[in-house]
Amino acid sequence: MEQQHRGQWGSNLGFLMATIGAAVGLGNIWSFPFRMGANGGFPFLIIYLVLAVLVGFTIMLCELAIGRHGGGSVLVSYQKINRISGGFLGILALVSPFLILSFYTVLGAYCVQYVGLNFAELLGIFNVSSVSGAESFSTMLTNQPLAIGSTFVVIAACFLIIRGGIKDGIEKFNKVGMPALFVMLVIVIIRSVTLPGAIDGLKFMFAPNFEPIKNDFIGVLAAAGGQMFFSLSLAMGITVTYGSYLSKKESLVRNSMVIIVSDTIVAIMAGMAVLPAAFALAGEDAKLSGPSLLFVTLQDVFNAMGAFGPIFGILFFLFVVLAAITSTIALIEVLVTFVIDRRTAAGKAPNRNAVVGIVCLIIFAEAALVAADGLGSNGLWVPFQSSGLDLGTCWLEFMDFISEGVAMPLGALLMSLWIGWIVGPEVIRDEVSQGGHKMSDGLYSFFIICVRFITPLAMAMILFGQIKTFLSPV
Ligand code: PFF
């Protein structure tokens, strides 16, 4: 039964752009390159790809199939398979995007501020280049009104995109935004790799080094698995939600592969943009990952570049803003679809405008807290700080711990066990086979092994690795 109010992607390309947009985010830019370099370079990439094929592909295919089969929000889609157990998984997949949004929007807002900073430098408004990246970053963290205001701007931009709907809002934006993101990335790479000394950054990222793998193979596996999992935006309801708007004609297997390959290519390219520049211009002990890579190290790089520095600064931070916004709209749409589907099931009009507005306001409330906290710079109270349990030293880390650290890997672990052992892999095969796309016996056997054994094992290890990393700050 086709639900009129829901609509569909206008084309498979539009679906792909939106889903790749959701996958390509801050993780590709500030975690992948450093993790690859620190965990063995090229051999790490191979491990990452093997995990992406065995685990990432399995979960993505399941999520796309569950969404398209269910034809509804993440909760409706899971419940269509089983009301009780599916309901539990569906709720888990709603909690994570809600929590991630509290800080992802704030990080996007910091990037918007850096676009502004470089723009001011370009116009010669302030002598910005005389201020170090570290100073700019700490001023930004402690300026609460500016942090909250720019977070509002990011959420308002997402509101304007999402209210247009799947096809006329999200798809349209991604179809322009993603190619633009790619072009900006290529320009920044060309500048970065042609700086003197850039080769050291490329060596750090790519040169094979088997030491980390020999010393701590499990640690490398967990790092690759955690990265792959976050980067592909799995267990966040996104793939289920976006899949629910996909036509039965399209191939789920091919789409899963395209998304995984594209996300990995952008992660490698992002490394070629950030690391050579960081090695060339930012000095020996520059920070090479996390927020400091962008807001301290790379800003110093742009400051040191001379007249063209602000132009590359603007291009680079616009690239990051786009990557963050395309992921943010996906996260918000998970919640919006959930509310709209509930309204229509109760016989009410979808009223997308109002729903998007209210969801965005609620997200703004939680994000304002994270923005005011400024990564712990402003002395706000943080839960469990005095309990001896270290669940993050600031609100961002706390929200990240519950979502990325626990809810996401747990959700994916339970989902693969559920499909593999409880409801049975046939549900997925039947959905994948729609529209004349037969799932070959070989692929189905491979899928069964992955969903029953390899994925649960890997996800248990990733869950353990995530909790361990979060609880032992570096
Ligand atoms: N995949 C995004 C990244 O690599 O930064 C992060 C992300 C976005 C995770 C959206 C989950 C999500 F739902």
- 236 in contact with ligand 1, CB cutoff 6 A: yes
Average pLDDT over residues 89-110: 95
Q: What is the pLDDT of residue 369?
A: 95
Q: What angle do CA 97, 36, 223 make, to 5 degrees?
A: 50
- 56 in contact with ligand 1, CB cutoff 6 A: no
Average pLDDT over residues 258-273: 97
Tell me the residue ranges of DSSP E strands in 55-138.
Answer: none
Distance between Cα 165 and ligand 1 center (Å): 21
* Contacts for 390 with CB less than 8 Å, ≥ 6 apart: 384, 471, 473
What's at 203, amino acid-wise?
K
Q: What is the pLDDT of residue 3?
A: 55
- 303 in contact with ligand 1, CB cutoff 6 A: no
Average pLDDT over residues 157-162: 98
Among 301, 300, 329, 20, which residue's Cα sits nearest to residue 155?
Answer: 329
Distance between Cα 323 and ligand 1 center (Å): 9
Which pair of structure tokens corresponds to residue 203?
Answer: 């060596």
Has residue 258 got a pLDDT over 50?
yes
Distance between Cα 232 and ligand 1 center (Å): 7
Distance between Cα 228 and ligand 1 center (Å): 10
Mutate to test the pocket of ligand 1, among 32, 229, 233 (most ligand atoms within 8 A of CB): 233
| CA 338/CA 46 separation, integer angstroms | 37
b/e for 262-281, b at 16 or more Cβ within 10 A? Answer: bbbebbbbbbbbbbbbbbbb
% the chain with pLDDT above 90: 80
Has residue 18 got a pLDDT over 80?
yes
- 238 in contact with ligand 1, CB cutoff 6 A: yes
User: Quick one: how far is CA 65 from the chain centroid?
Assistant: 20
Q: Can you tell me whether residue 216 is helix, strand or coil?
A: coil
pLDDT tens, residue by residue, 31-74: 999 999 999 999 999 999 999 999 999 999 999 999 999 999 99
Q: What is the pLDDT of residue 378?
A: 83
| CA 443/CA 16 separation, integer angstroms | 22
* DSSP-assigned letters across all residues of 124-153: TSS-GGGS-HHHHHHHHHH-HHHHHHHHHH
Mutate to test the pocket of ligand 1, among 32, 74, 100, 154 (most ligand atoms within 8 A of CB): 100
Has residue 334 got a pLDDT over 90?
yes
Quick one: which H or E segment has residue 269? helix 252-281
Average pLDDT over residues 350-374: 96
Average pLDDT over residues 246-258: 97
pTM surpassing 0.85? yes
Among 317, 193, 232, which residue's Cα sits nearest to residue 48?
Answer: 232
% the chain with pLDDT above 70: 95
Q: What is the mean pLDDT of the chain?
A: 92
pLDDT tens, residue by residue, 162-213: 999 999 999 999 999 999 999 999 999 999 999 998 999 999 999 999 999 9
Has residue 387 got a pLDDT over 60?
no
Q: What is the pLDDT of residue 1?
A: 40
Is the dihedral angle over the CA atoms 263, 198, 291, 127 positive or is it negative?
negative
Which pair of structure tokens corresponds to residue 257?
Answer: 């592969």
Average pLDDT over residues 154-158: 98
Per the model's pLDDT, the better-predicted residue between 85 and 127 turns out to be 85
Q: What share of the chain is helix, strand, coil (3-state, %, to 5)?
A: 80, 0, 20
pLDDT tens, residue by residue, 105-147: 999 999 999 999 999 989 887 676 678 899 999 999 999 999 9
| CA 278/CA 12 separation, integer angstroms | 37
